[in-house]
Amino acid sequence: MYKVRVPATSANMGPGFDCMGIALDIYNTVEVHEIPEGLIIENHGRDADLITKDGTNLIYRAMERVFRQTGFVPTGLKIISYNDIPVARGLGSSAASTAAGLLLANALIGEKLDMKRIIELGTALEGHPDNIVPALIGGMTLSYAQDTSTVGYIKLDFPEKLRMLVMVPDFLLSTAMARKVLPRQVELGNAVFNVSRAALMVAALTAGELDHLKYAVQDKLHQPYREKLIPGMQEVFQQAYNAGARGVFLSGAGSTLIALVDADNNDFLSRLKGFLDSMSCKWELKYADISRQGAARIQ
């Protein structure tokens, strides 16, 4: 039996569309047993009823990719997942499943694949590296892909004096739906705007110049289009800034929103909660810190 723990991730962080991501200390734990024959999948915990239990399961699909690459044929598999990461909320649940499957399969074949190859396989399965890279290696990452077989990344420092308030609404939003509302082309001015904000995000966080974060999280490539799918998004942003947030952004494709908050701002959650409680949808609020290690085998 092998077991791994994989963190949630938040992609984009505002302007870093499909390239910037951060691992959060919210985890799924997955274990695999080799059995005499067949496939058994058990899902427990958060949104377990939304996760498939057949060959379409993302953990199993990732494991299959490793087996095909290496020629390994298991007798049978029993996969058990214990989930805390919300599904279809922009917190990298699919990347966590993919990362878990890749690492568990690699354990079964005797650790024949290095992390570089695992990241390449994960990027091929996910379509882009923004979630899979921080899920696997932890921290805040800036990643790029020449193609799915050439993936590079840099792991960046994240200020210890910042924490994140994760705001999860009570409705699902699939990545496919959130991508459907995006334009196929963007104006040059909007592209330049995002380049400047993404560069500012990296500079502000690594230099500890946190006053710039309110501007660094701004985006013109995806958030303005996805806003229509998340009722009250701009109002939540404004209330978060009124309560002292350093920056607020849509997590991945949504529907979760994340506020960057000073660790010593002890009143932030209570100041925001009253407003969120008055909205038509219900919001789950949870502080999260960065997961610096990322996915890991556990006993």
Q: How many H-runs (helices) and E-runs (strands) does the chain carry?
A: 10, 11
In this predicted structure, what is the pLDDT of residue 178? 81
List of the chain residues with pLDDT < 70: 147-149
| Residue at a domain's end among 129, 157, 185 | 157
Quick check: is 57 in a domain? Answer: yes
Which of 113, 138, 157 lies at the terminal end of a domain, its last residue? 157
pTM: 0.93
- Give me 268's structure tokens: 């932030």
Co-location of 66 and 204 in the same domain: no
> Letter for the amino acid at 250?
L
What spatial distance separates the first Cα and last Cα of the chain, rounded to whole Å? 9
The structure tokens 């599904």 sit at: 87
DSSP code of 168?
E
The domain in which residue 178 lies consists of 162-288
Instruction: Please name every residue paired with 12 in a beta bridge, in sequence order, or none if there are none.
Output: 16
Same domain, 12 and 142: yes
In this prediction, residue 177 carries a pLDDT of 82
Residue located via tokens 């915990």: 45
Q: Which of 157, 191, 215 is the last residue of a domain?
A: 157
Which CATH number characterizes residue 51's domain?
3.30.230.10
Cβ distance 261 to 268 under 8 Å? yes
Predicted pLDDT of residue 148: 58
CA torsion sign, 204 to 210 to 211 to 217?
A: positive
| Residues 42/79, Cβ–Cβ less than 8 Å | yes
Dump pLDDT digits (tens) for 97-153.
999 999 999 999 999 999 999 999 999 999 889 999 999 999 999 999 876 568 999
The reported pLDDT for the residue numbered 281 is 84
> 76-102 as b/e, with b when 16 or more CB fall inside 10 Å?
ebebbbbbbbbbbbbbbbbbbbbbbbb
What is the total count of domains within the chain? 2
